[in-house]
Amino acid sequence: MSRKYYITTPIYYVNDKPHIGHAYTTVAADVLARWHRHRGDEVFFLTGTDEHGAKVAESAVEAGQEPQEFVNEVAKLFRIAWKNLNIKYDNFIRTTSPEHHRAVGVFINKLKASNSIYEDKYEGLYCVGCEKFITEKELVEGKCPVHNKKPKKIKEKNYFFKLTDYIEQVKELIVSGKMKILPEERKKEVLGLFEQGMEDFSVSREKVKWGIPLPFDKKQNIYVWVEALQNYISGIGYGEPSEKFSKWWPADCHIMAKDILKFHAIYWPALLLAVGEPLPKEQFIHGFFTIDGKKMSKSLGNVINPNDLVNQYGSDATRYLLLSQFPFGQDGDVKKSLFDEKYNSDLANGLGNLVSRTANLMEKNDVGIDTAQQPISNDKVDIINKQIEHYRFDEALKGIYGIISQANKYLDEQAPWKHTPDDKEKTTIVLQNVSDWIKTIAELIYPFMPITSRRISQQFAGPSVKKEDGLFPRLSDK
């Protein structure tokens, strides 16, 4: 049954250029969006960039640019990276866009009208790197543990959101599973945060100039995190006089990395409850990863630019290499040093070889596709589809690779290249069996490797099959 499916990535902070971490999240969301579209669901896939805040303003100054000029350039880099990775989003929301400003204004006014906002003094610490208020408890040797920098002392007038009014309700919605936090261990982590106690939080900042002014007090700008979360509704027309927003909201899935769990699992639902909007149905939180066993960092020089991967392997193979590494949702290690090997074994020798030698034999023996044959449907295919739907991408890809290996093995055993012209009937059966599997594989790989999928489907479509250029040219061994 077809249904609507609204999926989001976080909007990425423009203080950073696109790297493999952003790519990992975005490719995963694209796989789900494509899988749902392919099944006939009506899909909206939102991604974008988070462009306000003190840190961005500082970076613009360092770059000798106006903030808007600076964010325009970085936002463009994200769009280029997503184009290279063949990410098919429906909207790219930017927090400096007029539609975002309008939606945020409507939302904040509603918050105010619901009596969920009050004015107070904030006195405490703030880490510009995190764009987060930070408590003494969280410091390590007086410094932010993430940025290894001393936080700023801040004393200013802020507007606060009455988080404490909604906290029990949010907790209950998570415990009951009405708003799913996945995987299970992240749900436990969130429930643990409630135990630590929660305080009301600032929704505005007095001294941060690069932001959206508070509609009812223009001397204040909306706190960048509060504003950024609203991209999930501004990106689908919140506050506009159209049906678009009510069509897509609530989100079916927010995907993110675990560092922003608290904002998404607690603050965002509380804000939505305050304005009377339904909550996202599901939030899936993936883990952190290391590169060849080392933490990714600028100082180590091991930050991977996704464009470099695409240049080397192509977009389909890059998507495959990223998602086949370890279970999505857990921490893991990206074995960059083994990318060449994995590309050669799984894609060049596995899928590429199966397709090219089958097409070659079909052309040589004048065997075509039996178009009356229905696509193969069996338990294996059903299991793989379930795995994709439930974020188990590595298992799904292992399952697909299993089918590829099985088909290659069958071909080796039958060895139709040894057949004589008298074996024509036998040859036809063997090659049509393999081509049925190939068509099934093309269907299954579509969300991960859309270009390859389409090429194979077109090649294995009619009464005559022709040999074509290899899908995955073998990388020479270094």
| Token pair 């009951």 in the structure block, residue | 176
Q: Any catalytic annotation for residue 258?
A: no
Rank residues 20 and 125 by Cβ distance to Zn ion and give the closer one: 125
Q: Any catalytic annotation for residue 147?
A: yes
* Minimum separation from the CB atom of position 127 to Zn ion (A): 3
For residue 103, what are its two tokens?
């939606």
Binding stretches for Zn ion (CB under 5 A) = 127, 129-130, 144, 146-147
Closest among 82, 77, 84, 68 to 17, alpha carbons compared: 77
Q: Any catalytic annotation for residue 19?
A: yes
* Minimum separation from the CB atom of position 195 to Zn ion (A): 23
**C-alpha to C-alpha distance for 153 and 123, rounded to whole angstroms:** 8
Q: Any catalytic annotation for residue 52?
A: no
Q: Any catalytic annotation for residue 130?
A: yes
| Catalytic one of 112, 130, 254, 264 | 130
C-alpha to C-alpha distances, 196 to 132, 137, 191, 427, nearest whole angstrom:
18, 12, 9, 69
Q: Any catalytic annotation for residue 298?
A: yes
What 3-state DSSP class applies to 390? Answer: coil
User: How would you write 69-125 as a 3-class SS string?
Assistant: HHHHHHHHHHHHHHHHCCCCCCEEEECCCHHHHHHHHHHHHHHHHCCCEEEEEEEEE
Rank residues 43 and 130 by Cβ distance to Zn ion and give the closer one: 130
| Catalytic one of 52, 100, 127, 171 | 127
Dihedral of alpha carbons 138, 140, 146, 148, sign = positive
* Minimum separation from the CB atom of position 28 to Zn ion (A): 26
* Minimum separation from the CB atom of position 277 to Zn ion (A): 30
Rank residues 124 and 327 by Cβ distance to Zn ion and give the closer one: 124
Rank residues 145 and 402 by Cβ distance to Zn ion and give the closer one: 145
| Catalytic one of 100, 144, 254, 439 | 144
Closest among 259, 41, 45, 28 to 131, alpha carbons compared: 259
Q: Any catalytic annotation for residue 253?
A: no
* Minimum separation from the CB atom of position 112 to Zn ion (A): 30
| Catalytic one of 137, 218, 298, 478 | 298
Q: Any catalytic annotation for residue 127?
A: yes
Rank residues 127 and 456 by Cβ distance to Zn ion and give the closer one: 127
Element (H, E) at 256: strand 253-257
**C-alpha to C-alpha distance for 132 and 161, rounded to whole angstroms:** 15
* Active-site amino acid positions: 19, 22, 127, 130, 144, 147, 295, 298
